[in-house]
Each structure stands twice: as C-alpha cells, then as structure tokens.
Amino acid sequence: MTFQVAALTVACTMLLTACGGGSSGGADGGAVQAISFDFPGGQAVAIPPDVATTRLVATATSGGPITYASTTPATCTVSGDTLTLVKAGECSVTASQAGGNGYAATSQRQLFVIPKQVQRIVFRNPGAQPLDSTPVALVASSSAAGKTVAFTTSTPDVCAVSGNSMVKVANGICTITAAQAGDDIFAPAASVKNIPIGTATSPALTFLSGYTDSAHTAEGGAIGGSAGSNMNGWWCNGSCTTTVPADGSSFAFGFNLKLDQPNDGSWIGGYWGMYVLPAGLADLNKAGDTVSGLHIDAQAAMKFNLAQNLEWFNSSDNKVNVDLILGHFALKNGKDACNVTLRAVLAPTAAAATDYSLGLKDKFTISESCGLTGLDLWNELQDYPISKINFGADSMNVSVSSTGLAKPTYPSQLTLAGPITFQ
C-alpha cells in the first residue's frame, strides 16, 4: 500500500511542529494510532528435525502494513509474518507500523515464554523384594528418544544404587528416583518408586472407605448393581435391592429370582453384578483413557470384607468374579469401547462377613485385553489406574430357595463392609 500525504496534512504537521506539537498528535506530528497484536504464544518448541512456526497477526488503526521483528533471535526468529520457535525460552516480538497518511509511527511488543516439550519417565516398580544379596535391575525410559535416565536413592540406609541396579541394605522402604535432566527441547522429568525390602510393606491405598447412600461412596464415587434372568425378562423388574445403612458401613446388592410354580428342572439363566468406582468418578470415559482412579505402586494385594447370603453360599456354585477395570481404553474390533480388565475368582469361605486378600500378581489375570497384544499384568497396573471394581456372579443362585418349593425364590446377594484397600 502506498501512502500519499496530503498538502494540507503536511502544512498542519509543519505548523504543529513549529508550535511545539499538538495534544492529539504523535511524536512526529501525526495522529496517534494503535496496534492490535494477537498473542502468538502457547505453542511448545518442536522436536527436531521438526520446526514449530506460528503466523503473526496484528492490525493498525491506520490500516497501514505491519512489519514484525524479533528482539530475541536466539530463541525465536521472524520472516515476514511467520514466527519460528528456535528453542524454549523467552521470546520478544515487536509489531510496527511506519506511519504516514497523517498517522505517526507506532509499535506493539509481545513478550512470552516458549515452553519445552513435556517429558515422561516410565519407571515401573519391581515390587516387594526379599532382603538378600541379589541386586535388582532398575528399568526406566524417557518419552524423549535417546535420553538416558539416571537412578538415585533417598534412603541409603535401606538401599544403594549402582548404575541401573539396586542393592539391598536393610529392611524398610527403598525410595528410588528415576530422572532425566532435560535440555533446550525437553523439560526435566522424574518418577519416584517406593520398594518394600524384607519385612517392610507398602502403605495401604484406600479405594473407598465407606458409603454415603445407595448411589455413592464416602469419596463420591458411584456404586450400583444389575441383575436379571431369562425367567423375568433379563432385568431386575423390581426384584433388585440396594442397601446402605445410615452409618455408611456397608453396601449390599441383592436380586430375588421369583418363580410362580415349582422349578421343573428347566434351565435357568441369569447374571448378577455390583460395582464401585473411586473418588469423584461417576463412570468410565467412553472415548479414551480414564485418568481417575487408584494408582498402584508396590502394593501386593487387594483387601476387602465380603458377606454372601446363605442360600447362594450353599448352592452348587457360589464363586465371585472380582474384576479390576483399568483406565486403559481401546476400541475392541475397531468399534466397541473397551477397558483392559484384570480378574480374580474368589470362592467365599463363609456366608458371614469375612476378610479376603487377593494377590495382585498371583490371583489376577488379564481377562479382557480389548484386542491388544503383548500386555503384561504388572505393567498395566503400574501404567494405568484402577478406575472401577466389579463383583460379579460366576453363577448366580438358581437352586437354593429361601421360600420353599411351591413358589421358590432364589436370592443372590453380596455385602461389602468397611473399606476396600490395596497393600
């Protein structure tokens, strides 16, 4: 755009200059103009060989052309209206308008920080270790290709570190940090693991401590259940009950399968299950990983208290499937929302309330891989939270009646009492 300064404007400009300027004019005697300069920051520096760029956008009230310049060329450079992010750090860019056509020259600066790329350290806890002379290999990697991770201990009285090995010194919790210092592209990162040695045990992690009502845990997680049979339309149909006492100490879910005539030996099918979710979670994410839940470090077992109604306990099959549904999401068969699930099968030892402990490594297996291959159970527990726990009937009660043979009722009920913890 070419600016032609009118003769009248020139004369006025000269007059104002001779008179010491005017209150509405710029330093060179022209009218004051303003520049609106969009904020160009927020984007992280790119990982070489890629280069991060962004378009600079600014406008002047005069309508004249804008030029851009970087005053921090070691961090960011400008070519035309393209800003190139050279490395992380402070970037200063100035948008200028040269003036003319009655307007004074002006400029506007944007100062911002170019962030580094986030670096993630993958360091899986090897789990509880016996106190012996066998060194433990430490394995960690960085999401930044080619970066070396270093190990240190903050508990030298319990364990020592030599390169990529941990040496056991005494009973206790060994705290190991895997760290990578970062550089001009990547931010520093670290991951800390607490490894029980000898007689030491990991601290208990609480999935839930109790219940507030028939729909929520004390921590605000959702609870519920579902059941049904071919004899009642495959749904509760008024035959399900959810019970939470006023003190919030337990959660019971039951299903009463009722027949209008004696069982003639025909096949009876059915399903039964109850579920609990962690603090603040109403449901799993249906489109990606669920990030909320309980993260396992070196905890070895799931602990809970469970009661089973006497009829179901006395039936031919009273086993309970305990499912740990992880936050790891995938589309099974390319279309069905799915979460990787670990399962242990519990055979209750009594109908009355009983404490149970299920070893995470020796009792659970991957029961649902969502079509993914090469999954490792311990790695899954380390990398993803436990986002939901299901207690389901391996085979609900369809044989032991609570009302007699004329119009039999087959109840199936479990009661969770107290907290669910991992230790």
Residue 222 has pLDDT above 70, yes or no: yes
Per residue in 31-89, pLDDT (tens digit) is 999 999 999 999 999 999 999 999 999 999 999 999 999 999 999 999 999 999 999 99
Residue 25: per-residue pLDDT: 40
What average pLDDT score do residues 345-362 get?
Answer: 98
Nearest to 182 by CA among 44, 286, 280: 44
Return the sign of the alpha-carbon dihedral for residues 72, 75, 77, 81.
negative
Residue 264: per-residue pLDDT: 82
Is 346 within 8 Å of 352 (Cβ atoms)? no
- Quick count: other Cβ atoms within 10 Å of Cβ 42? 10
Structure tokens that stand for 331 in this block: 């589309």
Residue 24 has pLDDT above 70, yes or no: no
Per residue in 274-283, pLDDT (tens digit) is 999 999 999 9
Residue 65: per-residue pLDDT: 96
Residue 29: per-residue pLDDT: 59
| Tokens 């290999």 -> residue | 137
Is 112 within 8 Å of 41 (Cβ atoms)? yes
Is 93 within 8 Å of 102 (Cβ atoms)? no
Q: Please tell me the total number of residues recorded for the chain in this structure.
A: 423
Residue 398 has pLDDT above 90, yes or no: yes
Q: Confidence class of residue 405 from pLDDT cuts 50, 70 and 90?
A: confident
DSSP 8-state symbol, 310: H
Helix, strand, coil percent values for the chain (each to nearest 5): 5, 45, 50
Amino acid identity, residue 12? C
Distance CA 31, CA 103 (A): 4
Residue 22: per-residue pLDDT: 32
CATH fold for the domain made of 205-422: Jelly Rolls (2.60.120)
| Secondary structure of residue 265 in the 3-state scheme | coil
Structure tokens that stand for 75 in this block: 């961090």
pLDDT > 70 in the chain, percent: 93
Give burial (CB, 10 Å; 0-12/13-18/19+) of 164: middle
Determine if the pTM surpasses 0.85: no
What average pLDDT score do residues 360-373 get?
Answer: 97
What average pLDDT score do residues 397-408 get?
Answer: 92
Residue 20 has pLDDT above 80, yes or no: no
Residue 262: per-residue pLDDT: 87
Per residue in 168-219, pLDDT (tens digit) is 999 999 999 999 999 989 999 999 999 999 999 999 999 999 999 999 999 9
Q: Which CATH code of 3.30.1360.70, 3.40.50.2300, 2.60.40.10, 2.40.30.10 fits the domain covering 121-197?
A: 2.60.40.10
Distance CA 293, CA 204 (A): 15
Strand (E) or helix (H) holding 155: none
| Pairing assessment for the beta strands 386-393 and 270-276 based on DSSP bridges | antiparallel
What average pLDDT score do residues 106-120 get?
Answer: 96
DSSP 121-148: EEE-----B-SSS--EE--EEESSTTPP
- Quick count: other Cβ atoms within 10 Å of Cβ 166? 24
Topology agreement, domain 7-114 and domain 121-197 = yes
Which residue ranges make up each domain of the chain?
Answer: 7-114, 121-197, 205-422
Which residues make beta-bridge pairs with 167?
160
Per residue in 290-332, pLDDT (tens digit) is 999 999 999 999 999 999 999 999 998 999 999 999 999 999 9
Is 409 within 8 Å of 258 (Cβ atoms)? yes
Residue 9: per-residue pLDDT: 29
Provide φ and ψ at 391, rounded to 5°: -115, 115
Architecture of domain 7-114: Sandwich (2.60)
Residue 3 has pLDDT above 60, yes or no: no
Structure tokens that stand for 78 in this block: 């400008």
Q: Confidence class of residue 101 from pLDDT cuts 50, 70 and 90?
A: confident
